[in-house]
Amino acid sequence: MNIAVVGSGYVGLVAGACFAELGHDVILVDNDPQKIAMLKKGECPIHEKFLPELLHRHRGKRLDFTDDLLVAVRRSQAIFIAVGTPPKEDGDADLSYVESVASEIAGAIDSYKIIVEKSTVPVYTSSWITKIMLLNGAPAELFNVASNPEFLREGSAVTDFLYPDRIVIGADTDSCAKILEQIYKPMANGSYYARPDAIPGPATAPFKARIICTSAQSAELIKHASNAFLAMKISFINAVACVCEAVGAHVGQVCEGIGSDSRIGPRFLHPGIGYGGSCFPKDLLAFRTAARENGYQFGLLDEIVRVNEEQRIHFLRKVRKALWTLKGKKLAVLGLAFKNGTDDVRESPAIAIIKALMKEGCSIIAYDPAAMERAAEQLGPQNVTFAAGPYQAMEGADACLILTEWEDFSALDLKRIKKALRYPIVVDGRNLFKPADMAAAGLNYYSIGRPDVIGERPTPQPKPEWREIIGPEAQAA
């Protein structure tokens, strides 16, 4: 099938490359000539596993790039809108880019097309796109609008696309839904996964992607509700971690106990410095605004946001606890991206914490395997020094702060860390290390929801006095 994808950000670029991987002919549209030139040369503008391989595999074959939307629309049966929807000051999503694209598509339509929302948008956006296209002269019989939300995690976006938990198709006509089902057929019937050159994914048995067909409005709500629920799990376990610290419990043990319940599950029960990125913060605000505009005060969403913001303040208190005073301190920061596996620093908790520390008079030397260039744009090279590696960042620093959960950091040599630092202090916002290992290495270690470790003397942990009695002992008891 001939497909156009409008927008070459995270969603658009991954979707375009993966549609080509499924066997479709894809034209990716962007109004930035420099980005188009970069893509045509084979350069990948974002750090994402498997994406460079897909671009190399399909560029100039099944995947082309252009800044001419009219040509792309007329060549395609399906047009996916994947432009940005940044938050406005009131928290509502800015849909001006979506509206602009819809207006241009309306002027280019010369045969039946389906227009598909791929961006994360509020409920009723599909109805507004229909209205905009009709107002701009598109004949009603030549198009249908559908919602096909993405559920991609940065760092694993390609495998999330190709090995999804579900594919949500929100369409109000059978003809529109059938075209979308045809697009995803290689995943739904399992034929893609039988290919010898298929991108490897998490599925271990013969895999078939599940398609869920809904109305367009339901599909739009599924996306926002899913992200809100995941953000709620993160804020919940961060709040539990604070309680653990207050009572002397170990949050890792609590997470194991909670996550073993099949109704809850272990995923997203990882305490840290809070969520960030381009999705959760924006989507929660947009979902809250949409609820309010339709007469419902969704107070739970307010609390999720509040707990997330409080977690960063809580981490700063830990740094003060470890160092007593902050003014004049030299701090090594490991991790700038909002999560591992990506160079994205949008709404990164690490960036927010660094800015707060600089206001306190700290000097920062930072390292991240992928995100230093993007972080420099937000922090300014005159304010933060960027190191060539983690040990260089720690050399002579008063403490080391772990702010992103890169696997490389968890494999660092603890003795070398102690030798590099001026004071043997590590404040871990991602719980990458085992307290016992840090104690053995002679490091003062502060983490989230776990007792502090002071050198070789870990703070005593309460031990359970009970045990389960079974067999003859139980009868005697």
Q: Provide the annotated active-site residues.
A: 279
Q: Where does residue 410 rank: exposed (0-12), middle (13-18), buried (19+ CB within 10 A)?
A: middle
Residues listed for the chain: 477
d(CA 105, CA 113): 10
Report yes or no: 305 and 326 within 8 Å, Cβ to Cβ.
no
Q: Which pair of tokens denotes residue 70?
A: 């009219």
Q: Which pair of tokens denotes residue 160?
A: 């999330």
Q: Which pair of tokens denotes residue 141?
A: 């019989």
**Ordered alpha helix ranges (H), 114-260:** 125-135, 157-162, 174-183, 185-188, 216-247, 251-259
Q: Which of 148, 20, 37 is nearest to 82 (CA)?
A: 148
Cα 218–chain centre separation: 22
Q: Which pair of tokens denotes residue 351?
A: 């960036």
Other C-beta atoms closer than 10 Å to the C-beta of 199 total: 19
Q: At residue 426, what are phi and psi to the nearest 5 degrees?
A: -125, 125
